[in-house]
Amino acid sequence: MFAKIVVALNDLPESQRALRTAIDLARSCNAELATISILGDLPAYTSFSVVVDPGAPAAMMEEQQHRHKEIHEKAANLARERGVHAQGSIVVGKEVRAILQFLREQNADLLVVGLHQHDFYLSRLWSAVYDLAQEATCSVLGVH
């Protein structure tokens, strides 16, 4: 049914539920599993930190990359424990565009995303999920 499954990761619990679902689907379909996270822009307050430490933005970006690598390593370990190989990717860009491009490059059959129920940016979240669902070249599964 599905040959290539992609799951979008971040450090929120909903993302971990999506990961477990994607692993189970990959195992049952004997599909490849890819994990993706988006390395976004640094927060606006970063511009103030330059006054105190000109190297602060680079250090913050490095820390962000480190956190993303850890997320993918944990995901790969969980998948391995369940008999699935997962390949992680960190991409730079705007959430929806970066994910859509990744889906095309990977020839994905399914995108699994965690639905964040208690997000203060709920309207932005649903807008992103809607855009993904409308423009994705594959099916999209939202996991609560």
pLDDT value for 122: 45
Instruction: Supply the DSSP string of the chain, one letter for each residue.
Output: --SEEEEE--SSHHHHHHHHHHHHHHHHHT-EEEEEEEE-PPPTTHHHHHHH-TTHHHHHHHHHHHHHHHHHHHHHHHHHHTT--EEEEEEES-HHHHHHHHHHHHT-SEEEEE--TT-TTHHHHHHHHHHHHHH-SSEEEEE-
Residue 12: pLDDT over 60: yes
Residues 6+ apart with CB under 8 A from 3: 29, 31, 32, 109
Residue 137: pLDDT over 80: yes
More confident residue, 117 or 77: 77
pTM summary value:
0.85
Residue 57: pLDDT over 80: no
pLDDT value for 102: 96
Q: How confident is the model at residue 42 (pLDDT cuts 50, 70, 90)?
A: low
The pLDDT mean for the chain works out to 86
Residue 48: pLDDT over 80: no
What distances in angstroms separate CA 90 from CA 37, 47, 68, 103, 121, one per listed residue?
Answer: 5, 24, 7, 13, 23
Q: How confident is the model at residue 49 (pLDDT cuts 50, 70, 90)?
A: low
